[in-house]
Structure 1
Amino acid sequence: MDLNLRDIRALVAVAEAGSFTRAAERLHLSQPALTVQIRRLEEAVGARLFDRNSRNVALTPTGRELLPLLRKSLHDMENVLRDARALGEGQSGTIRIACLPTFAASVLPELVIGMKREVPRVSFQIHDVVASTVNALVRNEEADIGLTGGEVLDPMLEVLCSAVDRLVAVFPRTHPLAKRRRIGLDDLAQTPLVLTAPGTSVRAVVDAALSESREPRDIACEPTYMMTAVAMVRAGLGVTILPETAREVRAEPGLVAKAIDHPAFVRSIAIVKKRGRTLPAIAERFVTLMRLAVEN
């Protein structure tokens, strides 16, 4: 017979109270029910743990030796139960998230601060990576939730929320496009471009949009990171196209960001999890905050 938490709690209560009656009151049990628990524990141990008479109850030598061990076990198990309950109720735990760098550098810090304010015991594992890697991390269960870009075609991923991120053209204030009221597809096709590398969600949108123009593309360079693209634009290499929400767009006072007058320059974004997997309660709480940020 295995030891169980209630029986151990009963032994500790009787030992501390020195009475079955007082221990039963403390545990909100009837005295016969408490006696059954003690007998069950004695059967599991294989030895008598209490000497009883009409006046008092005293631990046997075996009981005295076992009491500190069982008290420690009780303390440890109660801690485990408390921690498990906190995890189940979303009051603690680790949020493993993979997300686009634009989201990580703009919206995510405020969401993390807000979550830590609500749940001080929360911790985060953050992967700020391109969309294809976001999808892979969620699919391989290295991240519980992901914020990805582009159309989600992977059947192993479930979309929890979707929205769009508008793209803007970024260039120096001295650039000829700065004088235009509107920037169209042909304007972009006639100027050198600094585009993020192939394989990124932004590049996929830009390539699809520019394919509608018959003008040949003049791609000056293809950096991986948006901050590098901004630096190249600042140096005068051309115009870059980035999400409007990207922090890099606002990082340089000498640059201008203007909307592109074409409906194709929008990037789909989505919050995803692995299909068929239950999210930890703490992650569910964070998805609610993410959803509000994405949809607004």
Structure 2
Amino acid sequence: MDLNLRDIRAFIAVAQTGNFTRAAAQLHLSQPALTVQIRRLEETVGARLFDRNSRNVALTPTGRELLPVLQKSLYDMEHVLLDARALGDGSTGTVRVACLPSFAASLLPDLIRAFKHDFPRVRFHIRDVVAGMVNTLVRNEEVDVGLTGGELSDSALEVLHVGEDRLVVVCPQDHPLARKRRITLKDLVSVPLVLTARGTSVRAVVDAALANAHCTPEVSCEPTYMMTAVAMVRGGLGVTILPGSAREVLAEPNLVARPIDEPAFVRPIALIRKRGRTLSPATEAFVAVLLQRLERESAMRLR
């Protein structure tokens, strides 16, 4: 017969009160029911745990040695149950997210801070990587959800939200393009461009738009990170094209952003998960917050 929590609680209550009547009242049990639990525990252990007579109840030597062991076991088991319930109700756990660096720097910090205000025990594991790697991490279940860019054709991935991010030109305040309200394709091919490296979602959109328009730009540099592209623009190496939502766009006070007057310069974005996989309650709760934010921003762009 295995030990159970009710029998352990009964033993500890009798040991602490030294009285079956008081222990039964403390546990909201009848005295006969408490007696049955103690007898069952003694049968499981194979030894008498209490010496009792009409006046008092005392622990036997076996009972004295067993008391601290069972107290620790009860404490550990109760905390295991509390932790399990917390995982079940979403108040604790780990949320694993892969996303484009632009979203990791702009969208996630405020959302995570607000979420942790309500669920301080929830931990976050963030992978800020290019779009292709976001998809791979979700597909391989190394993360639970991904915020990615570009078109999706992978049947293993379920799309939870589809939106778009318009691209803008970032240039110095004294650059000729800064005087224009909107930038055309002709403007883009007339100046050196600092473009993020091939394999990034922004570069894929830019290359496709320029190729479809049969334009061949002058590419001066191809950094991997948007912040590096911004630094190169500041250094006079050209102008860059970034998502309008990217925090890097506003990182330099001497640079300005101008919209591109071409519909092709739009980066598709999607919130994805592995198809057929159950998310943890904590992740489900965070996804709901993230979806609300994405849908609100999509609605604002349509105004």
Equivalent pair of 1:186/1:213 in contact (CA under 8 Å): no
Counterparts of residues 125-274 of structure 1 (less than 5 Å): 125-274=125-274
Question: How high is the TM-score relative to the length of structure 2?
Answer: 0.91
Give 1:19's aligned residue: 19
Matches of 1:190 and 1:121 in 2, distance apart? 53
Give yes or no for the alignment of 1:97 onto 2:97: yes
Equivalent pair of 2:167/2:241 in contact (CA under 8 Å): yes
One-letter amino acid of the counterpart of residue 177, structure 1: L
Equivalent pair of 1:196/1:225 in contact (CA under 8 Å): yes
- Kindly provide the CA deviation profile for residues 223-253 of structure 1, in whole angstroms up to 9, marking residues without a partner as x: 1011111122222222211011111111112
Equivalent pair of 2:181/2:258 in contact (CA under 8 Å): no
One-letter amino acid of the counterpart of residue 264, structure 1: A
Cα separation, partners in 2 of 1:264 and 1:77, compared to 1, 3 Å: same
In the TM superposition, what is the alpha-carbon distance from 1:218 to its structure 2 partner? 1.9
One-letter amino acid of the counterpart of residue 125, structure 1: H
Q: Which moved more, 1:262-271 or 1:24-33?
A: 24-33
Q: Which moved more, 1:29-38 or 1:162-171?
A: 29-38
Give the share of equivalent positions with the same residue, in percent.
69
Give 2:61's aligned residue: 61
Structure 1 stretches (4+) deviating beyond 4 angstroms?
A: none
Secondary structure at the residue paired with 1:269?
A: strand
One-letter amino acid of the counterpart of residue 136, structure 1: T
Give yes or no for the alignment of 1:111 onto 2:138: no
- Kindly provide the CA deviation profile for residues 33-69 of structure 1, in whole angstroms up to 9, marking residues without a partner as x: 3223222222221112223334433222211110111
Matches of 2:59 and 2:17 in 1, distance apart? 11
Runs of 5+ consecutive residues of structure 2 not aligned to the other structure = 298-303
One-letter amino acid of the counterpart of residue 269, structure 1: I
Matches of 2:142 and 2:214 in 1, distance apart? 43
Give yes or no for the alignment of 1:8 onto 2:8: yes
Matches of 1:215 and 1:84 in 2, distance apart? 59
Secondary structure at the residue paired with 2:112?
A: helix
Question: How high is the TM-score relative to the length of structure 1?
Answer: 0.93
Runs of 5+ consecutive residues of structure 1 not aligned to the other structure = none
In the TM superposition, what is the alpha-carbon distance from 1:157 to its structure 2 partner? 2.1
Matches of 2:3 and 2:260 in 1, distance apart? 70
One-letter amino acid of the counterpart of residue 279, structure 1: L
Cα separation, partners in 2 of 1:222 and 1:78, compared to 1, 3 Å: same
In the TM superposition, what is the alpha-carbon distance from 1:200 to its structure 2 partner? 0.7
Matches of 1:159 and 1:31 in 2, distance apart? 59
Matches of 2:156 and 2:43 in 1, distance apart? 51
- Kindly provide the CA deviation profile for residues 155-182 of structure 1, in whole angstroms up to 9, marking residues without a partner as x: 2222222221111111122222222232
Matches of 1:35 and 1:262 in 2, distance apart? 83
Secondary structure at the residue paired with 2:212?
A: coil
